[in-house]
Amino acid sequence: MRRWMLLLSLLVAGMQVPAGATQPAAPQRVLFVGNSLTYVGNLPATFAALANANGPRVHSAMIVQGGATLEQRVADGSVRQALASYRPAVLVLQERGGELLCGAGEAACRASRQAVQALAAAGRQSGARVLLLGSYQAHPRASAAIVEAERAAALQAGIGYVEISESLRRLSTEAGALAWYHADGMHPGPALTLLDAMQLYRALFGVPPARGFEVAAPVYAVRSGLHAELRDADAPAPLPAATAQGTRYTDALVMQLNALLDGERR
């Protein structure tokens, strides 16, 4: 018994951090709340992999469900619960595509704006920085309108806005060979998922990323099996047979999108 106690004390001593040494900072937690625009291509995992490859340590979690609105997340209390348990440093909200354009009527549009405000207030109360990540519209007039509506909603809620639609419209014209859309022609393809992640990275860290990266996580399609509950972005897919695993974004692609975003042509 004395021999085992001696061995245990030596092991514990060996695990102690020497005086003056520093431990790596814990990853910054980022919580994504959204719908199929958020999970197709797994934006949360893509953003975390992009950040980790370029310096800042990030861990992403998500509350996502196909066709979901932010009003639903206010009603079910899932975001408030996640803010208390997960304690994210950043809360990223993405509304259902076109919801803020008031196409479903002024009442639905007002409910969307109120949901953004309610979730923003909850995020701030928990100490998180809150961002509204834009959706997108293909038609030029609708694209400009959704950007204006989303920016106004973010301003009204007192949070940052990450624009997507007009950047996507421009970049998809200048680099039309890239896979901007999913096979259904509506949801994000790999290039759009990367654009979302890079725009968020720029907004949060103030600099463009420079390195490519690997995403070691499920790459969801439209049929995902995901429900509106808190889950790690790299957790096993609910429908593994219908979900690809992992993808890679090259240095060249990251630099190409940087150049396009900065108005250069290559």
At residue 161, the 3 state secondary structure works out as: strand
- What does pTM read for this prediction? 0.90
DSSP 178: S
Q: Rounded to whole angstroms, what are the CA distances from 36 to 23, 198, 204, 211, 224?
A: 37, 19, 23, 27, 9
* CA torsion, ordered 158, 47, 100, 147, to nearest 10 deg: 80
Report the range of poorest mean pLDDT among 6-20, 118-132, 156-170, 212-226: 6-20
Q: Do 239 and 60 touch, CB atoms closer than 8 A?
A: no
* Mean pLDDT computed over 31-55: 98
DSSP 239: S
34 exposure class (CB count in 10 Å sphere: 0-12, 13-18, 19+): buried
Q: Are strands 213-219 and 244-249 parallel, antiparallel or unpaired?
A: antiparallel
* Mean pLDDT computed over 21-49: 90
Q: Do 156 and 117 touch, CB atoms closer than 8 A?
A: yes
